[in-house]
Structure 1
Amino acid sequence: SGIDLVDVSSGGLTPEQKITVGPGYQVPFARRIRNETSLPVAAVGLITDSSQAEQVLVDGAADAVFVGRNLLREPMWPLKAAKELGVEDTLDWPTPYQSARYRGNIP
């Protein structure tokens, strides 16, 4: 029972909303909710760079970073981001995906 995580977004789904958009533009909303409540929050809003995503977490602005739209544009982004951040691939990949991993199709 209760809230497990708040996905903080200001919407932007209708033309009536006038939202100034830029990299990480919704992170301040996540930070405020996290600071003013005891709830874990996820930040969104044009988080498209691995170092930007990591900084949101390091700065304590959010407990998680959601990158849904970026994943639609670049499905391999999590693996690319991990490589950029120097995270070693120690995943136990499912057998059907091993061939893609070792053929160099994964960033």
Structure 2
Amino acid sequence: MLDTAIYHCQQAAEKAVKGYLVFCDQEFERTHDIELLVQTAARYAQGFLNWIDVGIKLTPYARIYRYPGYAGEPDSEQVAWALSAAEGLYRFVVSLLPPEIGTE
């Protein structure tokens, strides 16, 4: 079950940045690479540069635990870090959006 949880942490962070890029009318390639997405988003908000390391660390979770036999189960510390990182990136993205967007 932790493999599914960590995968969804990656997906949440990825979708948050992609959502911001859509908000900015910025096209982007089809990718799960959060680092690349963050670098693209930094064109609009320099604060994204602070999230590059998070993107580098979260990106592999898009595939590493997704397929049986590819890797073992992540431990609870890995999942806790991924959840915290994804929540932080999501909160950063939300802070850039106008309040009328209604993210809650």
TM-score, normalised via structure 1 length:
0.25
The structure carrying a bigger strand percent of its residues is 1
The structure carrying a bigger helix percent of its residues is 2
Bigger RCO of structures 1 and 2 (CA < 8 A, at least 6 apart): 2
Larger radius of gyration: 1
